[in-house]
Amino acid sequence: MNSSVFIIFPLALGACSALKPGAPAPARERAVVFQTRLYALSKIPDPDLEIALPDIVAESHNYAFKKADAPADAGFSYTLAPKGAVYPFSEMEVACVIREKYASRYGTELCSAFFSALGEKIKNALKNN
């Protein structure tokens, strides 16, 4: 009976310890894709647009973050994925990403402002090229 105390005690301590590197984050701390949008870009290669895209997306992100007045630790970010069949940048999928615990409070406002600003900036960039 005494040996079982020594086995259970270390197991109980292990359950209370901090996360180990590489361990999954607690559910509410994880980043989740809140919304995605697909944007049609140029049917032919457009180096100027490709060079401008990172700034266009970053400016849209910054605008949305300021507009929603979300906390700095909301984890608001984005991903970009080329989706064109022949020319990869003929279409681009953009995902709006946010920490799960902030998604219900800030997700709609952040992502709506982000996608709205991004759509306008892409439209203007395509018009100017």
User: What's the pTM value of the predicted model, to 2 decimals?
Assistant: 0.77
Structure tokens, 32: 């989740």
Residue reference for tokens 């900036």: 121
Q: List, for residues 48-107, the tens digit of each pLDDT value.
A: 999 999 999 999 999 999 999 999 899 999 999 999 988 999 999 999 999 999 999 999
Range from 22-31, 39-48, 92-101 carrying the lowest mean pLDDT: 22-31
| DSSP three-state, residue 112 | helix
Q: What is the pLDDT of residue 128?
A: 81
Per-residue confidence at 115, pLDDT binned at 50, 70, 90? very high
Strands 31-40, 91-99: pairing kind: antiparallel
Structure tokens, 59: 């400016």
Catalogue all structural domains in the chain, each as residue range(s) with its CATH number: 28-128 (3.30.300)
